[in-house]
Amino acid sequence: MANNTQRDELHKTIWAIADSLRGAVGGWEFKAYVLGAIFYRYISENITRHINQLQAEAGIPDYDYAEESDENAEEAREGMVGEKGYFILPSQLFQNVARHPEKDENLNVTLNNIFNDIEGSAKGTASEDDMRGLFSDFMVNNPQLGNTVALRNKLLADVLIAVRDMKLGEDFENNEIDTFGDAYEYLMQMYASNAGKSGGEFFTPQEVSDVLARITEVGNPNIRKVYDPACGSGSLLLKFAKTVGKSNPQLKYFGQEVNPTTYNLCRINMFLHDINYDNFDIQLGDTLHNPLQLDAGPFDAIVSNPPYSLKWDGKDNAILINDPRYAPAGVLAPKSAADLAFTMHMLYNLGETGTCAIVEFPGVLYRGGDEQKIRRYLVTNNYVDTVIQLPQNLFFGVGIATCIIVLRKSARPDSKVLFIDASNLFKKDGNKNKLLPEHQDAIVEAYAKREAKQYFTALVPIEDIEKNDFNLSVSSYVEQEDKREKVDIDAINAELVDVVAKVNELRSQVDEIIRI
pLDDT in tens, 325-379: 999 999 999 999 999 999 999 999 999 999 999 999 999 999 999 999 999 999 9
Residue closest to 65 by CA, chosen among 369, 503, 512, 54? 54
CB contact at 8 A, 305 and 359: yes
Distance, in Å, from the CA atom of 237 to the CA atom of 28, rounded to the nearest integer, reads: 23
232: part of which helix (H) or strand (E)? Answer: none
**pLDDT of residue 492 exceeding 60:** yes
Please tell me the predicted confidence (pLDDT) of residue 200. Answer: 46
At 431 the pLDDT is 76
Q: Could you tell me what percent of the chain has a pLDDT over 90? A: 59
- Please say if the pLDDT value at position 13 is more than 50: yes
pLDDT at 88 over 80: yes
Which residue type, as a one-letter code, is found at position 358? I
Residue 505 pLDDT exceeds 90: no
* Residue range 214-227, pLDDT digits in tens: 999 998 888 999 99
DSSP string, 447-460: HHH---BTTTEEEE
Rounded Cα–Cα distance for residues 507 and 516 (Å): 15
User: Quick one: average pLDDT of 282-290?
Assistant: 96
Average pLDDT over residues 39-48: 92
pTM over 0.75: yes
User: Distance between CA 360 and CA 342 in Å, rounded?
Assistant: 10
Query: Using omega within 30 degrees of 0 as the cis cutoff, is the peptide bond preceding 334 cis?
Result: no
Q: Alpha-carbon distance 314 to 309, whole Å?
A: 12
- Confidence category of residue 193, pLDDT binned at 50, 70, 90: very low
Give the whole-angstrom CA distance, residue 64 versus residue 74. 15
- The whole-number pLDDT of residue 225 equals 96
Question: What is the structure's pLDDT at 407?
Answer: 97
Q: Which of 51, 48, 123 is closest to 85 using CA atoms?
A: 123
At the fourth CATH level, which superfamily is domain 2-197?
N6 adenine-specific DNA methyltransferase, N-terminal domain (1.20.1260.30)
Q: Give per-residue pLDDT as tens, 423-470.
A: 999 898 877 788 899 999 999 999 999 999 999 999 999 999 999 999
Residue 480 has pLDDT above 90, yes or no: no
Predicted local confidence at residue 488, as pLDDT: 67
Pairwise CA distance, residues 493 & 239, whole Å: 59
AA identity, residue 128: E
- Report d(CA 226, CA 229) in Å as an integer: 10
Decide if 282 contacts 263 (C-beta within 8 A).
yes
Q: Residue 499 has what pLDDT?
A: 77
Residues 346 and 358: beta-carbon distance below 8 Å: yes
250-271 pLDDT, tens per residue?
Answer: 899 999 999 998 899 889 888 8
Whether the per-residue pLDDT at 39 is higher than 50: the answer is: yes
Q: Which of 90-94, 198-202, 288-292, 499-503 has the lowest mean pLDDT?
A: 198-202
Q: Are 301 and 226 in contact (CB under 8 A)?
A: yes
Q: Are 283 and 227 in contact (CB under 8 A)?
A: no
The amino acid at residue 384 is V
Length of the chain: 516
Asked whether the predicted pLDDT for residue 299 surpasses 90, the reply is yes
Poorest-confidence range of 26-30, 130-134, 279-283, 491-495? 26-30
Please check the confidence at residue 312 and state whether its pLDDT lies above 90.
Answer: yes
In three-state secondary structure terms, 26 is coil
Instruction: Please say whether the beta carbons of 27 and 191 come within 8 A.
Output: yes
Question: Minimal CA–CA distance to 257: which of 210, 302, 306, 218?
Answer: 306
Specify the domain boundaries for CATH 1.20.1260.30 within the chain.
2-197
Contact between 146 and 154 under an 8 Å Cβ cutoff? The reply is yes
CATH code 3.40.50.150 region(s) in the chain: 200-476
The Cα 64–Cα 100 span in angstroms is: 19
134: nearest Cα among 144, 124, 120, 145: 120
Range 87-95 average pLDDT: 97
pLDDT at residue 1 above 50?
no
pLDDT (0 to 100) of residue 245? 79
pLDDT of residue 17: 72
DSSP output for 58-77: TT-TT--GGGS-HHHHGGGH
Instruction: Point out the least confidently predicted range of 64-68, 484-488, 494-498.
Output: 484-488
> 200-476: which CATH topology?
Rossmann fold (3.40.50)
302 pairs with which residues across the strands? 227, 356
User: Between these two residues, 483 and 490, which has the higher pLDDT value?
Assistant: 490
Query: What was the pLDDT predicted at 195?
Result: 45
Cα 120 to chain centroid distance, Å, stands at 30
> Angle at which helices 179-191 and 27-57 pack, to 10 degrees?
170
Is the pLDDT score of 316 beyond 90? yes
Beta sheet of 384-389, edge-to-edge order: 280-284, 252-257, 225-228, 299-304, 350-360, 403-408, 384-389, 416-421, 457-461
